[in-house]
Structure 1
Amino acid sequence: MALDKILSIGGKPGLFKLLTQTRSGFVGESLLDGKRVTVGMRSNVSVLSEIAIYTLEEEVPLREVFQKIKEKEDGKKTGISHKAEKIELEEYFFEILPNYDEDRVYASDIKKIVQWYNILIDNNISDFVTEEDAEEEPTSVASSEEE
């Protein structure tokens, strides 16, 4: 399942799988307990594929951050809990993304990223790099040869 079908809903713990859209919002299923929820259009909802993390140079898509965590952890859950101390979380995240913007990425953001990654791994969702990403790299090499 792609990250464009995984949602974070403000005020509700965990992540949700988008099941269907309705006239007034959508229906999601919790990846924590499988319960279904109906969410209205006024709710604060974020699609994981649309989230990016600030670095000193650019914004890095969340899927790339998840992929780096997956590579570091060999496809397993993180060695650190999302409930760890702030300094431990920051040190861990620095290993994943050394150039993240410490002024704009808070410890609460890192907690969410670690927690979300572990939820996705628990639900066998670990294909973070899309086919488009894999195809983009050779294309950019080819375009630089043309210049």
Structure 2
Amino acid sequence: MGLDKILSISGKPGLYKLLTQTRTGFVAESLLDGKKISVSLRSNVSVLSEIAIYTLDEELPLREVFLKIQVKEKGGKTSVTHKADKIKLEEYFFEVLPNYDEDRVYASDIKKVVQWYNLLHDQGITDFDEKKEGDASEEE
């Protein structure tokens, strides 16, 4: 499963897997506890494949940040938790992404990235490579 089916819903903890669309919104399943919820179209929802992190040069897709974490951790979970203090989180993120924009990427953003990566890792969702039918590869 790619990041295009994983959602972050404002006001709800954790991440959700998109199950199906309805007339008034959609049904999603929590990756934390497996509970299904109905989400209206008025809710503030972000698809992980659409999220990017500011760097000094460009906006880097979250997928690529997850890949960098995966390489650093050799496929395991992060060495810091999302509950670590601000300085430890920033030091860790600087190791993963040395050119991230410190003025526009806050400690709360880093916490989310670390928490989401670990949650996805726990669920066995570790294939962060870009899908073939997605955008054109930036390496080309």
* CA distance, structure 2, for counterparts of residue 136 and residue 25 of structure 1: 31
* CA distance, structure 2, for counterparts of residue 54 and residue 137 of structure 1: 16
* CA distance, structure 2, for counterparts of residue 76 and residue 136 of structure 1: 26
Aligned to 2:137: 136
Q: CA shift at 1:129, angstroms?
A: 1.1
Larger radius of gyration: 1
Aligned to 1:143: none
Q: Which has the higher helix share?
A: 1
Kindly tell me: are residues 137 and 58 of structure 1, through their superposed partners in 2, closer, same or farther at Cα, counting changes over 3 Å?
closer
How big is each residue's C-alpha offset from its partner over 1:91-117, in whole Å with a ceiling of 9 and x where there is no partner?
Answer: 000001000000000000000000000
Query: Which residue identity lines up with residue 92 of structure 2 in the other structure?
Result: Y
- SS of 2:137's partner is helix
Question: Percent identity among equivalent residues?
Answer: 72
Kindly tell me: are residues 49 and 137 of structure 1, through their superposed partners in 2, closer, same or farther at Cα, counting changes over 3 Å?
closer
Q: How do residues 1-147 of structure 1 correspond to structure 2 at under 5 angstroms?
A: 1-132=1-132, 136=137, 140=140
How big is each residue's C-alpha offset from its partner over 1:47-74, in whole Å with a ceiling of 9 and x where there is no partner?
Answer: 0000000001100000000000001111
Name the count of aligned residue pairs.
Answer: 138
Over the aligned positions, Cα root-mean-square deviation in angstroms equals 1.3
* CA distance, structure 1, for counterparts of residue 43 and residue 87 of structure 2: 32
How big is each residue's C-alpha offset from its partner over 1:12-48, in whole Å with a ceiling of 9 and x where there is no partner?
Answer: 0000000000011000000000000100011010000
* CA distance, structure 2, for counterparts of residue 94 and residue 78 of structure 1: 13
Give the structure-2-normalised TM-score.
0.95
Segments of 4+ moved more than 2 angstroms: 135-138
Gaps of 5+ in 2: none
Give the structure-1-normalised TM-score.
0.91
* CA distance, structure 1, for counterparts of residue 130 and residue 53 of structure 2: 18
